[in-house]
Amino acid sequence: MRTIFKGMLLLLLSSYGFLSCKKEATVAAATANETRYLSVSMNEPATINVGSFMGEENIIIARQPYYSCISELKKQNGFTTYTYKPGTNYEGADQTILKMQATKEGGAQVEKIIIIQINVSR
């Protein structure tokens, strides 16, 4: 009985906005009217392949200097996977993680970049 009461109380509080939970949703879960703005700052010119990521076509990539924090870098099977997180001046979702894979690194150019995962917290 006590457990049922606690569950009902939490449901009531969350429905009125007193409790807020961050929910991670991929871009594919976005509705047709939503547009995702993701900013990527790079030191070298690059071709960003957006395409239709998991059926979602409303993805816009803007190169802006305040989105330049690389939180993770992995090298595996000749590919380099970069994970970007928004900087302190980022104006947008609470937390946006952008992972990209590059076939070539270093020098003045990255030949190809493929977005492999985008998580947007709501």
Per the structure, how many domains does the chain have? 1
In a domain, 9, yes or no: no
79-105 average pLDDT score? 48
pTM score, two decimals? 0.26
Residue 68 lies in a domain: yes
Q: What is the DSSP letter of 29?
A: G
Answer whether 24's CB lies under 8 Å from 119's CB: yes
Close Cβ partners of 20 (under 8 Å, ≥ 6 residues apart): 14
Chain position carrying tokens 């816009």 = 60
Query: Does residue 77 lie within any of the structural domains?
Result: yes
User: If you ran DSSP here, which 8-state letter would residue 63 be given?
Assistant: -
Confidence band (pLDDT; 50, 70, 90) for 72? Answer: low
| Closest C-alpha to 99, from 6, 27, 44 | 27
Q: What is the DSSP string of 79-120?
A: EEEEEEE--TT--SSS-EEEEEEES--STT-EEEEEEEEEEE
Q: Which of 9-23, 40-54, 101-115 has the lowest mean pLDDT?
A: 9-23
Report yes or no on 60 lying in a domain: yes
Is 38 among the domain residues?
yes
- pLDDT in the model for residue 71: 54
Considering only residues 120 and 77, tell me which one the structure prediction assigns the higher pLDDT. 77
In a domain, 3, yes or no: no
The whole-number average pLDDT for the span 84-96 is 44
Q: Phi then psi for 67, rounded to 5 degrees?
A: -115, 75
In this structure, is residue 14 part of a structural domain?
Answer: no
Domain contains 84: yes
Q: Which domain holds residue 103?
A: 23-121
